[in-house]
Structure 1
Amino acid sequence: MIAFYILITIVTFSLMEVVTWLTHKYVMHGFLWYLHEDHHQPKYQNLFEKNDTFFVIGAIPSIILFYLGTVPDINFKFFIALGILFYGIAYFLVHDVLIHQRLPWFKHTKNNYLVGLRKAHKTHHKHLNKEDGECFGMLLVPKKYFRKAVQ
């Protein structure tokens, strides 16, 4: 049973990349652009952005599933919540810390994968409006950016 719960957590974490891509492209660059727009402004200087609302919105399913996954006993919903939580932590570390440098960690990484992530996201941010976007995912680096990072 433990292997099954670990598998549920890993599959959920992996599927969150798909959820992130779809949400970023069709929700953040769609009908909720007004919450995401400040994230695309160069030199936005506040500690928090309206865009940070998505972090809270993304945590709600995890919180609900943690609760439902412990009533009356721990069940598979708990491990779905765990996969969402782990992805949220990864998102924070990669997007907010590594890419946008909101905390002074990983500033001088030479890791090809992490450099490729930064380049792909930088390409995403060259578009200051909601149209013509590219690179909507977070952890999957398109090969062309990875190759640029290796060179």
Structure 2
Amino acid sequence: MITQLFVFILTFCFMEFMAWFSHKYIMHGFLWNLHADHHKKDHNSWFERNDAFFIFYAIVSIVFFLLWKYDLLNIGLSIGVGIFVYGLAYFMVHDIFIHQRFKIFKNVNNRYARAVRRAHKMHHKHIGKQDGECFGMLLFPMKYYKEAK
């Protein structure tokens, strides 16, 4: 049980690195065509092409669930749940809290909330794929946390 919990926590933390890495080098790289509408909306749909990245990580999570279910990977459940919980946290912070795709959490105003909003706003000041900053989601440069006092 301790191993499973450790793997879950490690997976959740590793997903912040994966979010940063895939955002910086894939979304702002060779798959910019899927991410561009997130920086500059070019359609009337509520959905974005950028949502494809959620689908990709959901599939990865499901694969780990299946590896565990069919006794191919003992820690598959912990990895799958870690990816899922990170995705849920990312969705709540990024899509609901920051971008207000659902109109809830509008009045959250603590130091972390102000800092994460500011860091993400700095990321979105660049509408092109070059010269970006603040590619992570839950972790960001300490200067934004200090500014949020």
Cα RMSD (Å) of the superposition? Answer: 1.6
Query: For residues 109 and 35 of structure 1, what CA distance do their matches in structure 2 show?
Result: 30
Matches of 2:43 and 2:134, distance apart in 1? 21
Q: How is 1:41-120 mapped onto 2 (pairs within 5 angstroms)?
A: 41=40, 45-72=44-71, 75-120=74-119
How far off its partner does 1:73 sit?
8.0
- Bigger drift between 82-91 and 36-45 goes to 36-45
| Partner secondary structure for residue 66 of structure 1 | helix
Shift in CA distance, 7/74, structure 1 to aligned 2, threshold 3 Å: same
Regions of 4+ moved over 4 Å: 42-45
SS in 2 for 1:69: helix
Aligned length: 149
Give, as a single letter, the amino acid of the residue that structure 2 aligns with 1:124.
H
Please list the CA deviations of residues 71-117 of structure 1 after superposition, one character each: whole Å capped at 9, or x if unmatched.
13882111111100000000100010011000111101111101100
Does the C-alpha gap of structure 1 residues 35 and 42 become closer, same or farther in structure 2, counting only changes over 3 Å? closer
Taking structure 2 as the reference length, the TM-score comes to 0.95
Identity over aligned residues, as a percent? Answer: 50
Question: Which residue is equivalent to 2:124?
Answer: 125
- Inter-partner Cα distance in structure 2 for 1:59 and 1:121: 23
In structure 2, stretches of 5+ residues that fail to align are none
Provide the TM-score with structure 1 as the length reference: 0.94
Letter in 2 for 1:41: K
Structure 2 partner of 1:147: 146
Unaligned runs of 5+ in 1: none
| Counterpart Cα distance in 2 of 1:44 and 1:95 | 20
Letter in 1 for 2:74: N
Cα drift, residue 135 of structure 1: 0.1
* SS of the residue 1:133 aligns to: coil
